[in-house]
């Protein structure tokens, strides 16, 4: 974790990739796509804590259909910059059985966490699985899963803001920044 001065110094040195208006436009577009696809499905929406909290909180009011809501907490990163094994803090529950499930996450990077969530949800008896990520990192390597709904495609850089953190800080930014290379 960063102290206040370190966090502010990182932000001051970072490059703005997408400003708040671009982020909000992407949010509205992806909400429209989800509305068109799932409006008659009454899905169970699972938010992946903690990164998806901003995306989820801003997306849910834009969805114009009934839904159920819960969360999962799985991570491969913690405060690290590279992923390891998937660690379940809160696994999907039995309430997925017989439901169409929409999983919301902040970023699709290597795809291992989202693929593990999909596997677990389907093993528990969900009748359908959809995923929406705010950011899909374009690193050119194959991923074990492709998101059904994507807010933005982002470059292969270490990014933060709009739910994504840097050493635990700056999830609360309304824009997306990258660490200067």
Cα 59 vs. chain centroid, distance in angstroms?
11
Task: Please give the Cα distance from 64 to 32 (Å, whole number).
Answer: 9
Residue-level pLDDT at 76: 64
Domains of the chain: 20-152 (3.40.50.2020)
Q: How many Å is the Cα radius of gyration of the chain?
A: 16
89: its two tokens: 């803090």
65: its two tokens: 């259909």
86: its two tokens: 């998937």
Residue-level pLDDT at 82: 54
78: its two tokens: 């913690």
Q: What is the pLDDT of residues 112-166, one digit of tens each?
A: 989 999 999 999 999 999 999 999 999 999 999 999 999 999 999 999 999 999 9
Task: Please give the Cα distance from 142 to 147 (Å, whole number).
Answer: 13
Residue-level pLDDT at 104: 98
Handedness of CA 83, 136, 143, 179 (dihedral sign): negative
- Give the predicted TM-score (pTM) of the model: 0.92
């Amino acid at each position: 974790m960063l102290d206040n001065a370190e966090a502010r110094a990182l932000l001051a040195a970072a490059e703005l990739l997408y400003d708040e208006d671009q982020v909000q436009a992407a949010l509205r577009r992806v909400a429209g796509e989800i509305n068109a696809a799932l409006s008659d499905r009454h899905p169970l929406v699972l938010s992946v804590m903690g990164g998806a909290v901003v995306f989820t909180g801003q997306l849910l009011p834009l969805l114009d259909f009934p839904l159920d809501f819960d969360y999962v907490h799985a991570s491969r990163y913690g405060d690290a910059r590279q992923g390891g094994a998937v660690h379940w803090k809160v696994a999907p529950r039995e309430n997925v059985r017989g439901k169409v499930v929409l999983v919301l996450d902040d970023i699709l990077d290597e795809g291992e966490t989202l693929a593990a969530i999909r596997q677990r949800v389907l093993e528990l008896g969900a009748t359908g699985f959809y995923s929406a990520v705010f950011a899909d990192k374009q690193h050119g390597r194959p991923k074990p899963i492709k998101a059904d709904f994507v807010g933005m495609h982002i470059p292969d850089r270490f990014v933060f803001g709009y739910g994504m953190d840097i050493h635990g800080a700056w999830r609360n930014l309304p824009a997306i920044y990258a660490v200067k290379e």
